[in-house]
Structures are given as structure tokens and as C-alpha cells.
Structure 1
């Protein structure tokens, strides 16, 4: 298939997890892909794996907390492939040891997360949009989070940064739609990326599973396929939207699991 034929995509945070899934799927559909990551060895390895499967990819370094590094990643993409028509802003950080509640959140950590999770999205778009206009249009996809829609006991900086990504997505879509540039976001719930599986004990995963409407957790390809759809022309009349990909975790009355248990015990 060739859903991404003649398209050039820059994917930040593309060496693993959701970014790697999106890069691999886009390449399979005909896109030329630049995988940018702080883990440059991982980015280059991912690009080589795509090449062995018949795709076209390059792996480069990017520091999403550094303006010049983001500018260079966009510049490399245009220089290497002649244009950029898709940007997937996928870098995001969280820190459960410092990103706590409002009273106790480390303010340096707040600034760091706002810089990496939010400002990097702005900068990626700032540098890519002029090239997209020159190319006749494009599609931008930003990684938000369900943390941007709900409150939690901790991670106030992370949640605030992701909520801002949701609204920034709308601004970009509004301001550049007439240039044939679409901008959407994807908001994952718990996704079994390598980082999640390595850092979350089974007990915590079971807690999340208890509140999913579906009987399983999400996987990177669940987000990757959504990003692929938003990057392709199949979504050409969708812009300014944030698609929630979260297994129905947030759709129900939160008392449902306990109520079901109560009803089971009440059965004669």
C-alpha cells in the first residue's frame, strides 16, 4: 500500500515506543522518514531496520529542550529529502519524583517539562510550517495525553503541559489551515511502551486495567496507526482535533467497577 506516497515525515522521539511505531508504519506506507531522538544510536538503528524492510529512513539526534537542535532536525529533513510534509511532535517527559502536587512540585522540573513537552511542539511547528507552505501543505500531529483532560494526584506539570498541547494544536490548525496545513493531536491513555512495561509493576497495570472499558491495555501500534491516519490524506478534512486513544478508560462513571462488584455479591 502507499497511503504516504510522496510524503516526508519528521518524527521526534522516534527511536522507541509510539514514535518508532509511527515511523515504521509511515515508512511501510511509502513515506520517507526522519527519526529524531536524543538516543541517536537508537534512532539510527531504527532507520536501518526500516531500510532492511524496503523503506527509506534516516536517524538523527535531537534535543527537544534545545531550540537550535530542533531547527537543525527540520533543516536536515528538508535538505536530505527535499521537503517536509509531515511533522510528528512526539517527545514528552514525566518525573514522578519531582512532578508532584501543586504545593510540592519542583519548580525547576515544572520549567523543564514546559520546555520539553510544550515549547518543543511550538518550535517544531515554527520551523517546519514555512517549509510545509513551500511544499503546498502538510500534516502536523502532536502527542498530547489523557493527563491533559483529567486531574490526578500528582504530575501537575505534565498534565498542564499536555493540556496546553491540546489547545496549541487548535491554534496551529486555525492559523495555518488556509495554507493547506492540518494540525491534530493524539491523546494516549496507558500504552504498553517499553518504558511503561519496565517502570510499572503488574499491580499498577492491573489497577489501570480494572478501569478500562476494553479488556486489554493499549500498545504502541494503537497510537501509531492513529498517527498514520492523521498524517495521510484519509484525514484531509480533520484538523484541530485531539483523538483520545485510551481504551475507554475515562468514559465511564468511576464507580462502575465497584458497583459491578457490589451487584455480584448481592446476587442470591
Structure 2
């Protein structure tokens, strides 16, 4: 891909799954990455694999729900790499204690909604706010956010999660509209069911069977499937793509 060689990318949530696969793909394309995650050991493991393959990666302890932590992540990236050219937001609270308790509206726990939006939506807004001035100062840059098909799928459960992802879509369009003319591109990817570490551990056969039934592809997703799309959107090859939400879901959802 054009324009990833030498780029400096912050990955907000890169210890495992899609984030880790994207960090490794970006490094393969010649980018340097700072991997932030609440799972510091996992972030270090991802950084170590990149370094062993000849790439440049730094692991940083990072919490999307902590504004000071977000500031530290971006500051550390600028200090370690000499600047920031792009941001990939991929972190989310997928814990059983929060996503697992995201039931229908009549059974809702407001604490689940608050935590979900604090991490999944407000956290993304804060990382973008932290990065945008640095991108403007150097004439532009790229942000990619992670949404979900849940934003428009109309599921009978997970309304807090779906609402947070719909908010990410709106945030993405806002950034592209507000700063696109100043050289900032902002897009989002909306993965379908991707069999990352968390999904494999849960081994929800009912969900996997349902996902395969509605998909137009013969298999479920892998983290590398999304990583390739994110790398493209961060690259110069996607220079004319801005304000978009791309489904990367094996055809699980079809929309205009």
C-alpha cells in the first residue's frame, strides 16, 4: 500500500484480536506503531512480535475510560516516534460484567449504559480530541474508528452497545465534516462476527451458527480480515475516502 512506510500510528486497544492484527499489518507495511491497552502484557506481546519481525512498536498501559491515560498515550507516542500521523480506535468494554449484562430496555441497568458509553464512545471522542491538534499542526492525518453492524442491525439485546456504535458513526462523520478540508480523514470499519481471542474463548456455537447463516461468505471473520481494511484506510491509497463507515462482515449485513 502507498504511504504507510514511515507513518506513526497510535492503536488504542492493540493487545489482542483486531487491534493486535492491525498493529502487525501496519508494521509489515512499514509503519511504526504505539500500542495502547489496559492489558499491558498483551500489548507488550504484540510489540515483541513486531520487533522480532523487524518492525518498530512500543507498548503503553492505557485505559479508554481515563482521560489522563489517553493524554499520556498520545504524548508517549509523539515522544517515542517523533510525532503522530494516524490513530486507530479499536478498544471496547466487552466484559461479561457489562456487555454480558446489556439486556433489553426494560431490564436495563443504567450503570451498564454509562460504562458502555464512557469507554466505547466518550473514550473514542477523547482520543480523537487528543490527536486532532497534532494532525492539524502537521497538515493532516488519518483516524479510523471501530464501529459495528450492531449500530443499524436492530438487535433485540445489546441496546447500549448498539447505541455507542451508532454514536461512533456520528463522531466519524463529524470529524470528517469539520476538519476534512484541513487534511484530516476520518472513517470507520464495522466488523461482523470476528473470531478473535475473546470470541474463541466464549465459543458461542449458537451465535456462530446464526452469523454463518446470514453471511454471504462461507466462513466467519478473522482479525486479519479487518486489519487489511484498516491498513488501507490509513494508507495514502484511501486518500479520497472520508466520512465513511465500511462494513467488513462477510456480507452479514447489506446496506447502501
TM-score of the superposed pair, with normalisation by structure 1 = 0.91
CA contact 2:2–2:235 (8 Å) conserved in 1: no
Q: 2:57 matched to 1:54?
A: no
CA apart distance, 1:3:
4.3
Match of 2:163 in 1: 160
Q: Which blocks of at least 5 consecutive residues in structure 2 are unaligned?
A: none
Distance in 2 between the 1:96 and 1:236 partners?
35
Instruction: Give deviations 1:170-197, integer Å, cap 9, x for gaps.
Output: 0000111122110000000100111111
Matches within 5 A, 1:205-220: 205-220=208-223
Matches of 1:172 and 1:32, distance apart in 2: 24
Whether the 8 Å CA contact 1:2–1:30 is kept in 2: the answer is no
Give the superposed CA RMSD.
Answer: 1.3
Asked if structure 1 preserves the Cα contact closer than 8 Å seen for 2:93 and 2:99, the reply is: no
Determine the C-alpha separation between the residues in 2 that align with 1:59 and 1:22: 14
Give 2:74's aligned residue: 74
Answer whether contact 1:96 1:154 (CA < 8 A) is retained: no
Alignment of 1:190 with 2:228, yes or no, is no
Is it true that 1:23 corresponds to 2:23 in the alignment?
A: yes
Q: Which runs of 5+ in 1 are unaligned?
A: 253-268
Q: What SS is found at the alignment partner of 1:42?
A: helix
State whether structure 2 residue 117 is matched by structure 1 residue 102.
Answer: no
Partner of 1:204: 207
Matches of 2:211 and 2:48, distance apart in 1: 35
Instruction: Provide the secondary structure at the position in 2 that maps to 1:192.
Output: coil
Which structure's relative contact order is higher, taking Cα pairs within 8 Å and 6+ residues apart? 2
| Distance (whole Å) between structure 2 residues aligned to residue 213 and residue 2 of structure 1 | 30
Q: Measure the CA separation in 2 of the matches of 1:79 and 1:201.
A: 42
* Superposed structure 1 runs of 4+ greater than 3 Å apart: 94-97
C-alpha distance after superposition, 1:2-53 (max 9, x if no partner): 7411210000110110001110010111111001000011111211110110
Deviations 1:72-124, CA, capped at 9 Å, x for gaps = 10110011111101100111123343211111111011000000000011000
Q: Deviations over 1:214-238 (max 9, x none)?
A: 1111110110000000000000010
Q: Whose radius of gyration is greater, 1 or 2?
A: 1
